[in-house]
Structure 1
Amino acid sequence: MAIARRRLWLGLRVVLYALLFFGALALFQDRLLYFPDTPPLATVLAEARRDGLAPWPATGDYRGLLREPAGPARATLVLFHGNAGHAGHRAWYAETLARLGLRVILAEYPGYGPRPGRLGETALVADAAQTVALARQHYPGPLLVGGESLGAGVAAAAVAQIPTGTAGLLLVTPWDRLENVARFHYPWAPVGWLLRDRYDSIANLARYDGRVLVAVAERDSIVPARFGTALHAALKEPKRLVAIPGADHNDWPDRVDAAWWRDAIDFLLSPPQTGATAAPQ
């Protein structure tokens, strides 16, 4: 009888510890997904000016950073960055794409950089949709929306809220559903029950009929390429899938060149009748 009671008590302790652990995981999951850097606005703008960037749409209403091309803009691209740092850390995107004639807005999230706000899918997506709508109001011509990693999930959800008015969508190292990425990293956890932010890009893009380019890193150890490939498979035409050979999640920019970017932007800005799906490269 005493042995049975000890086994019962041991079992209850294991259950209790598991509940406490998974409860803490659910409570603090934002710290596993969002890694914001939050310098003051003056610091962000001082660094941005050195990179040829200006506050957008204005210093008093800061939502990101702007880079204009040297000549007339072919299009405007609103780009949502990954889950770490802040928008100013992505100045290289603006420099690269401005050379191709794009006006580039490096969008900032609530709770990142100098912007106040709460972290989480609801807040980030609602704000992103406002940013995209504001860019469309400000600038004539084609509007592209792009995102990298977390930013790809945000971009997909934002265009779902604004289904018309965007010429194309650039998704770099994206996932199909965040839950699948969470299961990959935590196969022992009941992530389906615990996960608060879903970023279900397949569902969000189910009705999107603009051009989509999905770029996956061949050796991505954080968001494995198969999740981006699954997203591409679920999308409507016109779409393109490009695999970056030998690339991991964070080193892919070093493995693409100006021609790669030119081909990507030319695809997104091509007339609808020329669209075609390309095999992974």
Structure 2
Amino acid sequence: MISLFPKAILIITVLTIVSYLVICVGLLWFQNRLIFFPSKTIEKTPDLLGMPYQEVWLKFPDSTSESEQINGWWIPGDSDMVIFDLHGNSSNIGGNLGYAKQFHNLGFSVWLIDYRGYGCSSDRFPCEKQVYEDAELAFNYLVNERQISPNKIVVFGHSLGGAIAIELATKHPEIAGLIIESSFTSILDMVKVKKQYGIFPINWLLHQKFDSIAKVRELKMPILFTHGTADELVPASMSEKLYQACPEPKQLLMIPDADHNHVKEMGGDRYQETIKKFLESL
């Protein structure tokens, strides 16, 4: 029995190392499935909230597949300015209609899209590069098809949508402004906060980075950050860090007791008035 003990230790050690490496490979190849949770079921459409809309399908010009497309809703308003709405990682355009209604009530046209993998858009599972491409395609639709000047476009992004909005703004510094709600500094920072993967070399494995904190420093357009102090998914301190990192003009609105998905509701009149004044200033 004693002679078997070193062999047992060796076997356990080898199995532990192999398991560790298998998990590392899994984190490398499947990390987008730990970030994106696509929702295909659209429960509400704009007409249910009293907003006439046009359904739009956008195809990728360099795609060989007819099914490679994204779905969007164009909600016309009285203003010549447009709010380009980008939803989070586990929602779809139907889930952002509360924001759309808020902006539409202020007179703005609203443009919402679903990234590939979400809603009625094509089924390819999303990744960082892909959602950036989807946002770029949708932005070009506004400029080229709708003939809307970039300085008349305000990009709103919630949670992961905030990171996509920031990336889009780095490519189009001429846009009118940004509203970033309940978003994060980077995926690496989120991993550090959640602490699930502390024993793994995340710095080496991570390729879905969404490194917003490195990008906001170069932005020049007016930016409004909003966040709830009771957010248990994305710490409110991350919006504070984004705010501190970006140059003027900028604003930060913290809503007491609001969680990740109810900043607008918990913010009430203060939130509505801040949004209104920010948009009027552009």
TM-score range, shorter chain: 0.7 to 0.9
1:244 corresponding residue in structure 2:
255
User: Of 84, 97, 109, which aligns to 1:78?
Assistant: 84
Taking the aligned partners of 1:108 and 1:160, their CA distance within structure 2 comes to 21
**Residue number among 133, 138, 144 corresponding to 2:140 in the alignment:** 133
Alignment pair present for 1:177 and 2:186: yes
**One-letter code of the match for 2:263?**
W
Structure 1 alignment gaps of length 5 or more: 272-281
Does the 8 Å contact 2:71/2:120 carry over to 1? no
Cα distance per residue 1:204-249 (max 9 Å; x no partner): 2332100011112101111111111111111011001111111111
Q: Aligned letter for 1:115?
A: S
Match of 1:278 in 2: none
CA shift for structure 1 position 38: 2.1
State the identity as a percent.
Answer: 25
Secondary structure in 2 aligned to 1:264? helix
Q: In 2, Cα distance between the equivalents of 1:36 and 1:229?
A: 28
Q: 1:232 aligns with which of 243, 246, 251?
A: 243
- TM-superposed CA distance for 1:125, in Å, is 0.5
Q: Which residue of 1 is the match for residue 209 of structure 2?
A: 198
C-alpha displacement of 1:62 = 5.4
Residues 257/200 of structure 1: CA separation in 2 closer, same or farther (3 Å cut): same
Return 170-179 or 129-138, whichever deviates more: 129-138
Quote the residue 1:161 is aligned against: 171
Which has the larger displacement, 47-56 or 208-217? 47-56
SS in 1 for 2:218: coil
SS at match of 2:40: coil
Q: Report the number of matched residues.
A: 264
Aligned counterparts of 1:154 and 1:55: Cα–Cα separation in 2? 24
Over residues 93-143 of structure 1, what are the superposed CA-to-partner deviations in whole Å (9 max), with x where a residue is unaligned?
111111112111122211111111441010100220221232234235621
- Displacement of 1:57 in angstroms is 4.1
State the 1:21 CA deviation.
2.2
> Is contact 1:170–1:212 with CA below 8 Å preserved after alignment?
yes
Going from structure 1 to structure 2, the CA distance change for 1:118 and 1:55 (only over 3 Å counts) comes to farther
> Residue 152 of structure 1 corresponds to which residue in structure 2?
162
Aligned residue identity for 2:22: L
**Structure 2 CA distance, aligned partners of 1:33 and 1:201?**
15
Sort the Cα spacing of 1:171 and 1:73 in 2 relative to 1 into closer, same or farther, 3 A: same
Give the C-alpha shift of residue 2 in structure 1.
Answer: 4.9
CA RMSD of aligned residues (A): 2.4
Which residue, 222, 232, 235 being the options, matches 1:221? 232
Question: CA, structure 1 residues 80+105, in 2 after alignment: closer, same or farther (shift >3 Å)?
Answer: same
Which residue of structure 2 lines up, in the alignment, with residue 20 of structure 1? 22
Shift of 1:175: 0.8
2:74 to 60, 66, 80: 66
In structure 1, the partner of 2:264 is 253
**5+ residue gaps in structure 2?**
60-68
Distance 1:113 1:236 in 2: 35
Please give the secondary structure, in 1, of the residue aligned with 2:33. helix
The amino acid of 2:54's aligned partner reads P
> CA separation of 1:162/1:93 partners in 2, compared to 1, >3 Å: closer, same or farther?
same
Describe the shift of the 1:241–1:263 C-alpha distance in structure 2 as closer, same or farther (beyond 3 A).
same
Change (3 A) 1:210 1:123: same
TM-score (norm 2): 0.84
Q: Structure 2 matches for 1:95-110, cutoff 5 A?
A: 95-110=101-116
Whether the aligned pair in 1 keeps the contact of 2:103 and 2:110 (CA below 8 Å) is: yes
TM-score by length of 1: 0.84
Change (3 A) 1:229 1:59: closer
The answer to whether the Cα contact below 8 Å between 2:264 and 2:272 also exists between their aligned partners in 1 is no
Q: Is the 8 A contact 2:230 2:257 kept in 1?
A: yes
SS of the residue 2:217 aligns to: coil
2 CA distance for matches of 1:219 and 1:191? 27
Q: Deviation at 1:63?
A: 3.5
